[in-house]
Amino acid sequence: MRSKKTAKNNLIVGVDLGTSRSAISANNRKKRWVDSYVGWPKDFIARKVVGKSILFGEEALVNRLSLNLSRPLAYGVIKEGMERDEEAVRALFEHLIGLIGADKRSHVRAVVGVPAEALKANKIAIKKAFSDYTDSLMVVSEPFAVAYGLEALNNAMIIDIGAGTIDFCIMHGTVPADEDQRSIVMAGDYVDEQMFTAIKARYPDADFNLEMVRQIKEEFSFVGEPEDRVEVNLPVASKQTLHDVTDEVRIACESILPAIVETAQELIANFDPQFQDEIRKNIILAGGGSQIKGLCSYLQKVLGEDGPAGVQRVKDPLFSGANGALALAKDMPKEYWSEE
């Protein structure tokens, strides 16, 4: 346990620990985010080129050919048994709290959001990784953190669509139990893989990688009928060439819809029948995947076949989890905290 600091150095933070991006919000009104990448120079030449001993986020991606690059959060949790990934998570958290002004004099109290069905061992691994930088710590599910921040605490369902997982949580006026939550792994990374395969099958001569596909998805993702054709430049024999990838983008994005619908319907069906209609009318989409065009209207139509449905998305998908975790950290009674 770290030594106690003076009250003036107290800092309360909420962290959304994501496979693709990690965000932090603090009670000093600062909030920051970073792509969940950490990289170390491969050799002394690389160290000279990048000018740093460790790089994070977009800077690490840009310099990835010079780095041993880690994306340590498989499905939103630390990859089991990977020491370098554990080191990367510790470094990533230290980087995040540094961005919001924490230092060794700070007394840090943190709530960290993880996927809804994260195993106890994963929570322990996260607490271990953060123990050098926090004085008290709590690990909660990401959709619960989102719900708390939105004050959607009763008769609501949160669907948090991230890169590694899609997490579901029904809120009914109390801390959600295990049976109120689900996680599925057909999420943003799965969409990227489906899109990559489909584009490569149609345009075998095009030269591109998974990171380029992720950028296409983030700019153009949609389900249903397209508003416009999706045309992107991809290299062919090193020459930038325009490609129509509309169908490939739609097919990839729609590949996760059956699992979302099935899981949502299952959770609702298993809930108290007197309140099922209320849950169905108050579904909130969070996470980066909530921005897929046409997703809200699609889910509202399909889920509405079982009864009146209402689906909306959060206004701030990047920080909704971190902001909710911060709200939890501010309000949580003392007996709920783990002292590290």
* 108 and 207 assigned to the same domain: no
CA distance 328 to 230: 41
**Residue 243 has what pLDDT?**
97
Give the number of domains in the chain.
2
Same domain, 25 and 125: yes
| DSSP reduced 3-state for 213 | helix
| Residue 286 counted as domain residue | no
DSSP 108-164: EEEEEEE-TT--HHHHHHHHHHHTTT-SEEEEEEHHHHHHHHHT--EEEEEEEE-SS
Interior CA angle at 240 toward 234 and 241, to 5°? Answer: 70
Instruction: Answer yes or no: do 19 and 134 share one domain.
Output: yes
What are the tokens at 231? 């045309």
Residue 39 covered by a domain: yes
What CATH number is attached to the domain comprising 237? 3.30.420.40
Together in a domain, 134 and 44: yes
Residue type, 64: R
Q: In terms of domains, do 143 and 192 share one?
A: no
Q: Which of 129, 42, 41, 136 is nearest to 85 (CA)?
A: 129
Q: What is d(CA 75, CA 101) in angstroms, rounded to the nearest whole number?
A: 28
Structural domain boundaries enclosing 44:
7-147+319-335
Same domain, 95 and 218: no
pLDDT values of the chain reduced to their tens digit, one per residue, 340 residues: 444 444 456 899 999 988 889 999 999 999 999 999 999 999 999 999 999 999 999 999 999 999 999 988 877 677 666 678 888 988 999 999 999 988 777 888 999 998 876 766 677 888 888 888 888 889 898 999 999 999 999 999 999 999 999 999 999 999 898 889 999 989 999 999 999 999 999 999 999 999 999 999 999 999 999 999 999 999 999 999 999 999 999 999 999 999 999 999 999 999 999 999 999 999 999 999 999 999 999 999 999 999 999 999 999 999 999 999 999 999 988 777 755 4
Query: Rounded to whole angstroms, how far apart are CA atoms 178 and 158?
Result: 14
Give the Cα separation of 266 and 248 in Å (integer).
29
Q: Regarding beta strands 311-313 and 338-339, do their DSSP bridges make them parallel or antiparallel, or are they unpaired?
A: unpaired
In a domain, 234, yes or no: yes
For position 122, what pLDDT does the model report? 75
Residue 302 lies in a domain: no
> Which tokens belong to 115?
């996927």
What whole-number distance in Å separates Cα of residue 98 and Cα of residue 301? 44
Bridge-based pairing of strands 283-286 and 311-313 is: parallel
User: Has residue 220 been placed in a domain?
Assistant: yes
Is position 275 within any domain?
A: no
Asked whether residue 58 is assigned to any structural domain, the reply reads yes
Backbone dihedral region for residue 76 (phi beyond 0: left; psi -120 to 50: alpha; all else: beta): left
Q: Say if residue 116 is in the same domain as residue 230.
A: no
Q: Is 292 helix (H, G, I), strand (E, B) or coil?
A: coil
Whether residue 298 contacts residue 224, with contact meaning beta carbons closer than 8 Å, is answered with yes
Within a domain: 2: no
The reply to whether 192 and 142 lie within a common domain is no
Q: Is 241 in the same domain as 329?
A: no
Q: State residue 5's pLDDT score.
A: 46
Boundary of a domain, candidates 230, 254, 278: 254
Is the torsion defined by CA of 111, 35, 91, 184 positive or negative?
positive
Q: Residue 156 class from Cβ within 10 Å (0-12 exposed, 13-18 middle, 19+ buried)? A: buried
Domain ends where: 254, 273, 307? 254
Helices and strands (H, E) in the chain, number of each type: 12, 18
Single residue among 238, 254, 270 that ends a domain in this structure: 254
Do 22 and 143 lie in one domain? The reply is: yes
Q: Are strands 67-70 and 10-16 parallel, antiparallel or unpaired?
A: unpaired
Burial classification of residue 259, based on how many CB atoms lie within 10 Å of its CB (0-12 exposed, 13-18 middle, 19 or more buried): middle
Q: Are 193 and 121 found together in one domain?
A: no
Residue 282: closest CA among 298, 262, 268 = 268
pLDDT at 339: 52
35 and 140, same domain (yes or no): yes
Q: Which one, of 280, 219, 263, lies nearest residue 245 by Cα? A: 219
